[in-house]
Amino acid sequence: MDEQGSRVTAYRRLAWNETDAAGHNHFSAAVRWLEETEHTLYRALGLALDFIDRVPRVSIRLDYLHRLYFAEELRIELGVLRVGRSSCTFAFRVFNAAGNEAVAGEYVVVHVEATDGGSAPWPPAMKDALLRGDHFVIREEVQTVEVGP
């Protein structure tokens, strides 16, 4: 990934409901992960999430390279590739526990002023935050169970 702006690395485990009958990740889970990780980046940048309904995805391309299995720890990387007048292109990658790239792709969001309107320029503070170049690392809390006497 050749990010030009801010990025986030998030760790999580593959949930049971994200697997299919073959026992590995269902293809649709990756779309949910990219959206969740994008929102994590916005929060880490200090942006209020009241604009989420005004940044629809207009293009998504994902390649599936390795299977991911239930309870496996995933490393998800999302970074800003480009910010235009009203669009933002993100790169997205998911790695399995062994460090193999399992999912890779890019997607584009477009900023709109209203949910029923067309594209609109990014507010300057949002554009600056996306381009700032910050890198955040988020690790999901993993519960452990201890069996005592």
Q: Is residue 80 domain-resident?
A: yes
CATH label of the domain that carries residue 84:
3.10.129.10
Give the chain's domain count.
Answer: 1
Q: How confident is the model at residue 3 (pLDDT cuts 50, 70, 90)?
A: low
Q: What distance, in Å, lies between the first and last C-alpha atoms of the chain?
A: 49
How far is it, in rounded angstroms, from Cα 107 to Cα 35? Answer: 10
Residues 6+ apart with CB under 8 A from 49: 39, 42, 43
Average pLDDT of span 4-8: 94
- Whether 93 and 76 have beta carbons less than 8 Å apart is answered as yes
Q: Is residue 144 domain-resident?
A: no
Query: What are the CB-based long-range contacts (under 8 Å, 24+) for 36-40?
Result: 36/10, 37/8, 37/10, 37/76, 37/78, 37/92, 38/78, 38/90, 38/109, 40/8, 40/10, 40/78, 40/136, 40/138
Domain that holds residue 30: 7-139
Q: Is residue 146 domain-resident?
A: no
CA distances from 49 to 7, 53, 126 (A): 17, 9, 11
How far is it, in rounded angstroms, from Cα 3 to Cα 56? Answer: 21
- Whether 60 and 81 have beta carbons less than 8 Å apart is answered as no
Q: Is residue 148 domain-resident?
A: no
pLDDT at site 114 = 87
Average pLDDT of span 47-74: 95
Q: How confident is the model at residue 148 (pLDDT cuts 50, 70, 90)?
A: low
Q: How confident is the model at residue 142 (pLDDT cuts 50, 70, 90)?
A: low
Per cent of the chain over pLDDT 90 is 84
Q: Is residue 106 domain-resident?
A: yes
User: pLDDT tens digits for 77-129?
Assistant: 999 999 999 999 999 999 999 999 999 999 999 999 988 889 999 999 999 99
Per cent of the chain over pLDDT 70 is 92
Beta bridge partners of 79: 7, 91
pLDDT at site 144 = 57
Q: Is residue 102 domain-resident?
A: yes
